């Protein structure tokens, strides 16, 4: 069945089946826990009918990764700035990596394949746009290419490169992930206002549409992506 996931100012993350009136899963703050606005949510790890994860980002910089199959909190961390967007590179595969965008001109890419018991997930951090990074969207035809939309009206295209070895052995002999690197392929400022919504075409590589706060809806084509 199709599912929707929502986050709200009450700090709750809810999963909905459109056929029923009540949420099928409601992930709420514990009693006595301070309630933070949930700004962004995303599905991932949906590689079979049982597995499903939801990543949620909050206004205080919290990131929480919920396992819906076991109804548990799988991972949490804090990125020090409000989380404006989160997206897995693919929803329908075993978790590979996901991008997190934040206030204060930063984004992170987390390697989600290996989680250390205490150190958590490996990640890289990058500055971009000299303003809020509102979103990141992975190219459907190549999950290692993604764009970011900035508060300066900027459109950046990046390529993620994996390290020579994605895991290493920590001092406690547990496996630990190793983050890759990103390369800025192209950058263009296309508006005086933030890019707040974006989508790639699943059919035509490089075709995209985006919305800015200058009340415009634009359609672009990004060329030569096949070279990467």
Q: What pLDDT, in 10s, does the model give residues 149-166?
A: 999 999 999 999 999 999
Q: Taking the model in full, what pTM does it have?
A: 0.93
Task: Determine what percent of the chain is predicted with pLDDT higher than 90.
Answer: 93
Mean pLDDT of the chain, nearest integer: 95
User: Which residue, 115, 105, 95, is CA-closest to 42?
Assistant: 95
Distance CA 11, CA 101 (A): 19
pLDDT at 66 over 80: yes
Q: Taking the CA atoms of 122, 127, 132 and 135 in sequence, report the sign of the dihedral they define.
A: negative
Rounded to an integer, the average pLDDT of 48-70 is 94
Contact between 69 and 50 under an 8 Å Cβ cutoff? The reply is: yes
Residue 1's pLDDT is what?
Answer: 59
For the record, the structure tokens of 81 come out as 């700035």
Closest CA to 98 of 126, 136, 127: 136
Number of C-alpha atoms within 13 angstroms, CB side, residue 2? 3
| Model pLDDT, residue 31 | 82
User: Strand, helix or coil at 227?
Assistant: helix
CA distance 60 to 36: 7
* pLDDT for the residue 2: 82
What's the maximum distance between 2 C-alpha atoms anywhere in the chain? 54
- Rounded average pLDDT over 161-188: 95
Q: Give the range among 47-51, 85-89, 107-111, 210-214 with minimum mean pLDDT.
A: 47-51
């Amino acid at each position: 069945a199709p599912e929707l996931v929502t986050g709200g100012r009450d700090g709750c993350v809810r999963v909905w089946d459109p056929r029923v009136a009540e949420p099928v899963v409601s992930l709420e703050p514990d009693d006595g826990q301070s309630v933070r606005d949930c700004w962004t949510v995303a599905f991932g790890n949906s590689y079979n009918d049982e597995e499903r994860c939801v990543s949620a980002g909050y206004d205080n910089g919290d990131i929480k990764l919920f396992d819906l199959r076991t109804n548990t909190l799988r991972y949490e961390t804090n990125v020090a700035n409000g989380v404006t967007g989160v997206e897995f590179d693919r929803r329908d595969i075993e978790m590979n990596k996901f991008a997190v965008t934040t206030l204060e001109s930063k984004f992170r890419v987390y390697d989600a394949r290996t989680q250390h018991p205490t150190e958590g997930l490996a990640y890289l951090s990058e500055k971009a746009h000299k303003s809020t990074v509102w979103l990141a969207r992975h190219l459907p035809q190549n999950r290692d290419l993604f764009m970011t939309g900035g508060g300066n009206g900027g459109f950046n295209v990046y390529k993620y490169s994996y390290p020579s070895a994605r895991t290493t052995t920590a001092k406690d002999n547990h496996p630990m992930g190793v983050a890759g690197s990103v390369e800025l392929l192209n950058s263009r400022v296309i508006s005086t206002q933030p890019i707040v919504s974006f989508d790639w075409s699943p059919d035509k590589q490089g075709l995209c549409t985006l919305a800015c706060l200058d009340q415009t809806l634009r359609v672009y084509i990004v060329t030569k992506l096949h070279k990467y």
